[in-house]
Each structure stands twice: as structure tokens, then as C-alpha cells.
Structure 1
Amino acid sequence: MSGPLLEIQGADVFYGASQILFGIELAVEKGQTMALLGRNGAGKSTTFKTIAGLAPPRHGRVVLAGTTVSGRAPYRIARAGIGYVPEDRQVFPEHSVDDNLIVGAKRGASGEDHWNRTRIYEVFPLLAGMRDRMAGRLSGGEQQMLTIARTLMGNPDILLLDEPSEGLAPLIVQAIGELIRTLRGMGVTILLAEQNMHFCLNIATHAAIIDKGQIVYRSTIAELRDNDAIKQRYLAV
């Protein structure tokens, strides 16, 4: 494969008659951790839903590993290699941690089986100690970790994390950040949507900023860290 692992090319996305995304252009290379930053309501979650097939573009397309996936059913997009972790941590509350992982288990698009329960429990030792606990009895941070782990059990080519730090206590946010850095070090390709710029500065390699449904800035995370004008204009609350 040549070119980016994931591309959004000129995507216009509507909810009914209302246009939410305007010609979105975004590319994520294999092995990158790309932060999609923006204020609340800027279009981050809609961008993720567009990639996952839940909000298909009216114009433009989503390309994974050189193949257009937009227009497919969401489950087919997931099978193609896109792992989506939504912001509302949708665990199966009446099932155990272990059962949640089993539900998410599948081989990757090319038959990969890098992620299984043995490896998950090595990378997520917190979950290993509560594998028999009902998921509905976990804390918010524990549920976030479980949702990420369950998505990895599908052996995706790219992991979409929608607001992984939202609503969590500072110590849990730190733990989620350490987990993402661990995954990055393992070569996992990650696209995360965040309002929390400071969280992303410590874990991402690259950044894009979305404002009013348009990508207005793309660069490395190091260059964004030094660009006070851009941060003030698009990210200051």
C-alpha cells in the first residue's frame, strides 16, 4: 500500500437539511497518533461517524488502505479495519469484562490475530484483575479502558478514539494517556478526537484542528505546541 492508511477526501456531511461538515480533508499515516482537536460542536464526533459509516458523506469519500469504504454498511467498514470507540463508552453492562472482550473478538481484515485476550490482559493489567466483574459495575475510567480493549479485540488497522478523556478524573485521564502512549509505541495507528489540547500534546504525534465543520490546521504536535496564535484562535475556551 502506498499513501496514507486513512483518508477523508472532500467530505460534505449533512444531518437532514443541515450541513455539518464542509469538504473535510484529512489523512492519517500508518503508525501515527493523530489528534483531531476542536471546540465542542466543531464537528469532531461527526467526522468519526463519517469514517465509521454512521453519517455517510453526501459528497466526497473515505478511503482505507487505498480502498473506498464510504457507502458501505457500518459493520462492513468495521470488518475492513476501522475500530471505533464512541464517546459514551457502550459496554455490555450485564456481561463480565471477559465476556465483553469475547463479543468484540474477530480477526483483522487480512486475517490478523495480534490482539487476543492474553495480549489484552498484558497491556491492560487493570482489566486482568476484574475479568469476572460485570461491566456495568466498573467506574467510568475502567469502562473506557474496557471499550478500547474490546475494540482492539477486533484487530483494527486504525483505532478511532472519540473524546477518551471526557468526564474522567485527572488520575484516570493520566492513565488513559499512558495507555495511548503504550499503544503508539506498539505501532497502533490512532486517530483521537479531543477538546483537551493539553492531553493530546503529551500523547499525539500529529494534529489537525476542525472549526465550524472544516479542517483549518494540520501539522505535527510539536509545531502546534509552539504556535500560540493558532491555539488561541481555535482552541482557547
Structure 2
Amino acid sequence: MSGRSVIEIAGIDVFYGASQILFGVGFSVEEGQTMALLGRNGAGKSTTMKAIAGLAPPKRGSIRVRGSDSTRMKPYEIARIGLGFVPEDRQVFPEHSVDDNLLIAHKRGPDGRDDWSLARIYEVFPLLTPLRARMAGRLSGGEQQMLAIARMLMGNPAILLLDEPSEGLAPIIVQRIGALIRALRETGVTILIAEQNMHFCLGLASDATVIDKGQIVFRDSIAALKANDAVRQRYLAL
């Protein structure tokens, strides 16, 4: 890792209407780091991810992505500076084929890189290869999750945001998603994973941030989280 922060969140408050969801949330993610944002259901993980992606702008505080103040940027502007986001509900285009879903998303990365082609996607996602002509709405949940990640990669992002990538999937598919994230990590991209499933992240992430009731309650390495039984029991045990 370079030690250079590519996501910097400082004291953000986020509201949905009159309801405040995040309270002074702040943390950073370094270039090349794989960070797990952990917390129970409703803790504020997805709202934090949406705030970074420009879908839930903060009322107070600031967000910087790859050195740019993105606090008031539109989502497409944040994507152009290198952010890729897979939302919790995947949002594939159901009446378009797998091929079309991928081609729609293709663009060069912020530094002109074009590392992800259809050929490479199908090499990395072999389960999608026989499904190229199938409508995305007819895929299983696991297949849609893989397609959503593959579609994000077609935009050649420098930072990957994955919101609950293991949610609702069969154990064998969760294992495959985990193996894919490990392979992506080895390419040097920065990854932020929001997850309720702590065990899914233990072998993937280098660092952990724990959120509870819209506030950050822990920030350290995965090793430190493993050693801190009090934090795991209080904030992550189901």
C-alpha cells in the first residue's frame, strides 16, 4: 500500500428526510487497501456507501475520493474519477442480456486504462460465459451478483465499493464471490466492502471499520478485530 488515502470521510451527517442516519462518520481508506465496513443490519453501512457514491449526499461533513472533494458531486462525476459501486440490490438491467449489461457499462478508467474487456470478464467469470445471451432478470441471485460486479469492472474503476456482496447467497456462491474479491485485491485496486457477515470478510480484508447506530465505534486491522472479543460480541454478534 502507498499510504495515500483515496477515500477520506470527515464528520458526515446523512439524513433521509427528517431522519438522521449517520452521525459524524469519519474514516479513510488507503490506496491498495481492502477495508471491511462491518455492522449489524440497519447500522448505517449502506448509507455510508451511498454517501461515498453520491447517492446520499451528507448534510454536514466532507468526502474526498482520489484527492477530489466529491461531497457535492453527482454520482456520474464520482464514477468518472474512478469509483465503482455495486449496490446491495445489484440493479442489473433485467430485460437486457448479460452481454448487453456488460457492454452498457464499458468505459475507460480515470487514467485512461482499459484493462477490462468482454474477453477478460468471461475469463475471470467463467460461470457467466454460457449465460451471455440470457436476460439478466432470469439469472439466479448469485449469477446476478457476479454480473453486477463484472459490470462495475467494465468501467475500469480504481476503487471498488461492494455493498453486502454475500447477502442471500448460497454458501458455495459466497465462496466463489470471496475468491473473486481476493483475486481482485491482488491486482492492487482499493476495495471497500460493507458486510453484516463478519466471517466472510475475515479472510478478505486487511482492515476493519465497525459502525453501530450510525457512528463509527472501531477502526483497526482485521487482526486487531479478531483479537477484540468485546467489540465483536457487542457490535457484530447476531
Taking structure 2 as the reference length, the TM-score comes to 0.96
What is the identity, as a one-letter code, of the residue corresponding to 1:191?
L
Residue 124 of structure 1: aligned partner: 125
Q: What is the deviation of 1:202?
A: 1.4
What is the identity, as a one-letter code, of the residue corresponding to 2:159?
I
Q: What is the deviation of 1:210?
A: 0.3
Contact 2:37-2:208 within 8 A present in 1 as well: yes
Residue 84 of structure 2: aligned partner: 83
Residue 11 of structure 2: aligned partner: 10
Q: What is the deviation of 1:134?
A: 1.5
Where do 5+ consecutive residues of structure 1 fail to align? none
| Structure 1 position 61 matched with structure 2 position 62 | yes
Contact 1:32-1:190 within 8 A present in 2 as well: yes
What is the identity, as a one-letter code, of the residue corresponding to 1:202?
G
What is the identity, as a one-letter code, of the residue corresponding to 1:194?
E
Contact 1:3-1:66 within 8 A present in 2 as well: no
Identity of aligned residues (%): 69
CA distance in 1, matches of 2:227, 2:168: 27
Residue 191 of structure 1: aligned partner: 192
SS at match of 2:36: strand
Residue 209 of structure 1: aligned partner: 210
CA deviation string 1:182-206 (max 9, x = no partner): 1111212110100000111111111
Q: How well do the aligned residues superpose, as a CA RMSD in angstroms? A: 1.2
| Structure 1 position 30 matched with structure 2 position 19 | no
SS at match of 1:7: strand
Contact 1:37-1:195 within 8 A present in 2 as well: yes
Question: Mean alpha-carbon deviation: is it higher for 126-135 or for 27-36?
Answer: 126-135
CA distance in 1, matches of 2:30, 2:137: 35
Residue 219 of structure 1: aligned partner: 220
Q: What is the deviation of 1:232?
A: 0.5
What is the identity, as a one-letter code, of the residue corresponding to 1:115?
W
Cα distance change, pair 172–61 in 1 and its aligned pair in 2 (3 A): same
Question: Mean alpha-carbon deviation: is it higher for 16-25 or for 142-151?
Answer: 16-25
Where do 5+ consecutive residues of structure 2 fail to align? none
What is the identity, as a one-letter code, of the residue corresponding to 1:161?
L
CA distance in 2, matches of 1:63, 1:109: 15
Residue 149 of structure 1: aligned partner: 150
Contact 2:4-2:31 within 8 A present in 1 as well: no
Question: Mean alpha-carbon deviation: is it higher for 3-12 or for 146-155?
Answer: 3-12
Count, aligned residues: 237
SS at match of 1:21: strand
Residue 94 of structure 1: aligned partner: 95
Q: What is the deviation of 1:2?
A: 7.1
Contact 1:5-1:30 within 8 A present in 2 as well: yes
What is the identity, as a one-letter code, of the residue corresponding to 1:160?
L
Q: What is the deviation of 1:110?
A: 2.0
SS at match of 1:191: strand
Taking structure 1 as the reference length, the TM-score comes to 0.97
SS at match of 2:14: strand
SS at match of 1:77: helix
SS at match of 1:106: coil
Residue 178 of structure 2: aligned partner: 177
SS at match of 1:129: helix
CA deviation string 1:150-208 (max 9, x = no partner): 00111111111000000111111111111111111121211010000011111111110
